[in-house]
Structures are given as structure tokens and as C-alpha cells.
Amino acid sequence: MPETVPGGAVPSFSGSVMLDLGADTGALVLHTPPELDATEIEISLVAGDAPPPRRTHSLVRQRHTPGGVQYAAVYPGLVCGDYVVWRDASTSAMIVTITGGHVTTACWPGFAAE
């Protein structure tokens, strides 16, 4: 399981996240079940034959929206490409594709966002 931050996370509200989007830059919103609140989830570019790339992480937080409370990790400013979402330090959970100028939305395996 990814690392949980002690003390929990402060909720965020609609419009409180800035995303850097461009021709070669996109973002990921990863929806999760409430049980992953305050958990840091790592992602990394798919390496292929190259050495493993550096991982980046984001904290799962409550997101208050007009439709209710959702839980998600947001990864802004990602270079285009395929990314591994890591379940733990050595187990991949899924692969997502980031496209320039777009926000990719994905759900944690086994979870369907409402």
C-alpha cells in the first residue's frame, strides 16, 4: 500500500488546483476510494529498456465539488507519455497515458468514481 501521511490531509474545494497544460504537458486526476485519503501515490514514466525513471507522488485528498465529496490525487505538469501508477514500492497498479493539453482522468483499480 502507498504511504499514508500522519494526521490526514486537508480537504480541497472546487477550483483550488492549478494545472499546467501545454503542447507537451498534461495532467492526471486519479480518483480513489475514501480509504486512500491522505495516502501518497507514486507515478513514473514507463521506462522501457532505459533505467527506471524518477517517481513523483501526490497526496489523495477530499475534493469538495458541487456533486459531493470525491477523493483524488492530482498530478499537474506531466510530460506526455505512458505512466505507471504504483500500488506500492514494487507493484504497479495500472498504466495511464498523458496527452499534451489535456487532463487524463483515471480510477484506482477496482474503484468506480461516482
**Of the candidates 74, 56, 77, the residue with the CA atom closest to the CA atom of residue 65:** 74
101: pLDDT confidence band, cut at 50, 70 and 90?
Answer: very high
Mean pLDDT for the stretch of residues 20-29: 92
Identify residue 73 by its one-letter amino acid code: A
| Mean of pLDDT over the chain | 87
Q: Which long-range CB contacts under 8 A does 14-17 form with residues at least 24 apart?
A: 14/63, 14/64, 14/65, 14/66, 17/74, 17/76
Find where cell 493539453 sits. Answer: 101
The DSSP-derived string for 9-45 is ---EETT------BTTEEEEEEEE-GGGTTEEEEEEE
What is the architecture of the domain spanning 3-107? Sandwich (2.60)
- Residue 9's pLDDT is what? 57
